[in-house]
Amino acid sequence: MISPPLSPLSQPGSWAAADVDKRCLWHPFTQMRAWCAPGHDPLVLVRGKGVWLWDDRDRPYIDANSSIWTNIHGHNHPVINEAIRRQLGEVAHVSFLGFTHPTAIQLAEKLVGLWPQGTLTRVFYTDDGSTAMECALKMAWQYWRLRGDDKRTRFAAFDLAYHGDTCGTSSLGGIPAFHERFGPLHFPVSRFRTVDEIEALPRSEAECFAAVAIEPLIQGAAGMRLWPSGSLKRLRAWCDRNGVLLITDEVMTGFGRTGTMFASLHEDVVPDIVALAKGLTGGYLPLAATLAREEIFEAFLGEYADLKTFFYGHSYCANALGCAAALANIGLFESEKTLESLPAKVELLQRLLGALAENHPHVGGVRQLGLIGAIDVVRRRGETQVAMEPYPWQEAIGARVCVAARRHGLLTRPIGDTIVLMPPLVVDAAELYQCTAAISQAISDVCGTVA
């Protein structure tokens, strides 16, 4: 009897899957010539558990950037798995345009409850970080039009900001390599380097802003750049003085990543609008939420014919599977006491990063906020920032270090020559040791052990 040939994709360890990938796919933020080159063996990941991922040759790796900053409680978590399965047994998705469903309702109440009472009271569901921010921008814009204010037509954003890749959100973006080329498609944005610069604006200029957007406490895509302490609080005060809406982009920082549920809470700041995405479903499914204050919501109320409606939405808004995953994700913060477990891990990470900065001749500096770590790889270190000698960016040292790290059982993605170490919050002490050891060895493999 002749049996049909197995699909190449069903043969673990075979490279046929990678061949099909090279023939049919186009990967995000990826130079596809190098990807498709004959010498490149794409890493095919097939399963996960906790902080670990396995490739199709059954080799384990620590997921040291939480699958692009999304995963919170680990992969393949029984509680989140079960929540999705239970929802799947009911219904996977129904339209949220003119209908509602219990999982989305429960989740909204939970999300509102994560903020001080009576502050962020309304939840608008979107799909991902970009659409959560896009929604925030349009909300802010229409809010001022509905208020009859025709002056507030500008947005303020910061140098090196990253708020997503739609045309709207990349208008706010301040990373030249990602955003500059699309300049002619972008709406005009006033860009500032620091909160000081914003504070120095004359009142007449300040009152032209509809909103200012900021990644609170830490700019992720900028290379894990920390704001000077107190910056967010000062920006909040400036917004209050000038009637400008404060939009915080907690897409990366939300859900415990920085040690508190949200980064803004480090400075006791509540924004007028917040964007949540990546960690919302624990890194399981694309779902996002834009939360707004009641006063903003109320401006949109009127008769149908008033045309005050927020005409914005996506077909998968409030996807039921995503909402079920998100509810389980938030529930785990309580049942596993996730936030309570963090201080010890944060302190250990601080010691490990400190040792790396002290001892490795090619580590020029480290930064940390909560369980977000960043390691700058340099050709030669100096006593001062000026004396530091970086590698030419064309050498893609950061990328080479991350490829080398795979041999030491660790996966992450660099930002330039900065190595990101941002494991799921369930990471334990032994795994944190493994992370910094693997990164240290990978830097030595690529850069050598002497400067």
Ligand X SMILES: *Cc1c(COP(=O)(O)O)cnc(C)c1O
C-beta of 263 vs 378, nearer to ligand X: 263
Q: Does 251 bind ligand X (CB under 6 A)?
A: yes
Other Cβ atoms closer than 10 A to 173: 24
Cα–Cα distance between 297 and 143 in angstroms, integer? Answer: 8
Bridge-based pairing of strands 410-411 and 60-63 is parallel
Q: Does 257 bind ligand X (CB under 6 A)?
A: no
Interface residue with ligand X among 55, 56, 63, 128 (CB under 6 A) is: 128
Cα–Cα distance between 161 and 224 in angstroms, integer? Answer: 11
Interface residue with ligand X among 130, 264, 368, 436 (CB under 6 A) is: 130
Interface residue with ligand X among 56, 215, 272, 431 (CB under 6 A) is: 215
C-beta of 232 vs 442, nearer to ligand X: 232
Q: Does 370 bind ligand X (CB under 6 A)?
A: no
Task: Tell me the window of 31-39, 40-48, 161-169, 303-311 that interacts with ligand X (CB under 6 A).
Answer: 161-169
Query: Least separation, in Å, of the C-beta of 129 and ligand X?
Result: 2
Task: Tell me the window of 124-132, 307-315, 387-395, 409-417 that interacts with ligand X (CB under 6 A).
Answer: 124-132
Asked if 240 and 57 count as a contact pair (C-beta separation under 8 A), the reply is: no
Query: Least separation, in Å, of the C-beta of 340 and ligand X?
Result: 25
C-beta of 252 vs 353, nearer to ligand X: 252
Order of strands across the sheet with 418-421?
Answer: 363-369, 372-377, 418-421, 414-415
Bridge-based pairing of strands 60-63 and 52-55 is antiparallel
Q: Does 249 bind ligand X (CB under 6 A)?
A: yes
Cα–Cα distance between 146 and 142 in angstroms, integer? Answer: 6
Query: Least separation, in Å, of the C-beta of 262 and ligand X?
Result: 12
Q: Does 162 bind ligand X (CB under 6 A)?
A: yes
Bridge-based pairing of strands 45-49 and 52-55 is antiparallel
| Residue 165, token pair as written in the block | 């890749």
For the chain, report the end-to-end CA distance as a whole number of angstroms: 65
Query: Least separation, in Å, of the C-beta of 436 and ligand X?
Result: 23
Task: Tell me the window of 38-46, 128-136, 229-237, 240-248 that interacts with ligand X (CB under 6 A).
Answer: 128-136
- In the complex, which residue's CB is closest to ligand X? 129
Task: Tell me the window of 159-167, 182-190, 389-397, 415-423 that interacts with ligand X (CB under 6 A).
Answer: 159-167
Q: Does 164 bind ligand X (CB under 6 A)?
A: yes
Residues in the interface with ligand X (CB under 6 A) total 14
Q: Does 163 bind ligand X (CB under 6 A)?
A: yes
Residues numbered 278 to 297 that lie near ligand X (CB under 6 A) are 278
C-beta of 221 vs 447, nearer to ligand X: 221
C-beta of 74 vs 164, nearer to ligand X: 164
Query: Least separation, in Å, of the C-beta of 303 and ligand X?
Result: 35
Task: Tell me the window of 156-164, 312-320, 331-339, 355-363 that interacts with ligand X (CB under 6 A).
Answer: 156-164
Q: Does 220 bind ligand X (CB under 6 A)?
A: yes
Interface residue with ligand X among 62, 195, 210, 252 (CB under 6 A) is: 252
C-beta of 163 vs 400, nearer to ligand X: 163
Asked if 345 and 338 count as a contact pair (C-beta separation under 8 A), the reply is: no
Query: Least separation, in Å, of the C-beta of 367 and ligand X?
Result: 16
Query: Least separation, in Å, of the C-beta of 278 and ligand X?
Result: 6
Q: Does 170 bind ligand X (CB under 6 A)?
A: no
336-340 — which CB contacts under 8 Å span 24+ positions?
Answer: 336/73, 336/426, 338/72, 338/73, 338/256, 338/425, 338/426, 339/256, 339/259, 339/260, 339/261
Task: Tell me the window of 77-85, 151-159, 248-256, 262-270 that interacts with ligand X (CB under 6 A).
Answer: 248-256
By CB under 6 A, name the binding residues for ligand X.
128-130, 133, 162-164, 215, 220, 249, 251-252, 277-278
